[in-house]
Structure 1
Amino acid sequence: MEWEPEVPRWRQVYGLLEKRIYDGKYAPGERLPSALAIVEETGISPVTARRVLKELRDAGLAYMEPGIGTFVSRLPDPPADSPSR
């Protein structure tokens, strides 16, 4: 992954997953990649990968089932400033 130096990496990975959600790569109810899978794909730290998943949950884009994983929530319309628009 090529990084934009002025944007925090967690935000860039968040944007990547957000775009995949709104583009339909991850459908509502579908499991998102684990923190470990995000680390392997992007090279960010495990702490940063967990933050990305937390931020997706905080934004209402995902929910967690403890011991199972993080899943895509039913989607609202994309925010006006979303990169997927």
Structure 2
Amino acid sequence: MAKALEERIADGTYPKGSRLPGAVPLSHEFNVAPSTVAKAVQDLKRRGLVTASAGWGTFVV
């Protein structure tokens, strides 16, 4: 899941400054639990690819 999101960031599907879709839409798209999406996003945050802002969402850096 994190790999797929990383690829989307790399190919410009989610360009710099864009907001990632929420956990529920992504969980439906990838057919996984929202907690799996949350773990993938945490991985991307640890690697500096995205940043999260409470109440605003997760953005590509």
Name 2:58's counterpart in structure 1: 70
Share of identical aligned residues, percent?
38
Q: Secondary structure at the match of 2:58?
A: strand
Moved over 6 A (4+): none
Any unmatched runs of 5+ in structure 2?
A: none
Give the TM-score normalised by structure 2.
Answer: 0.93
Any unmatched runs of 5+ in structure 1?
A: 1-12, 74-85
Task: State the Cα distance separating 1:43 from its structure 2 match.
Answer: 1.0
* Matches of 1:47 and 1:26, distance apart in 2: 21
Number of residue pairs the alignment of both structures matches: 61
Identify which of structures 1 and 2 has the higher relative contact order when contacts are C-alpha pairs closer than 8 Å and 6+ apart. 2
Aligned counterpart for 2:35 among listed residues 43, 47, 51: 47
Q: Which has the higher helix share?
A: 2
Larger Cα-atom Rg: 1
RMSD after superposition? 0.7
Give the TM-score normalised by structure 1.
Answer: 0.68
Q: Trace 1:3-82 onto structure 2 (pairs within 5 A).
A: 13-73=1-61
* Matches of 2:58 and 2:5, distance apart in 1: 12
* Matches of 1:26 and 1:47, distance apart in 2: 21
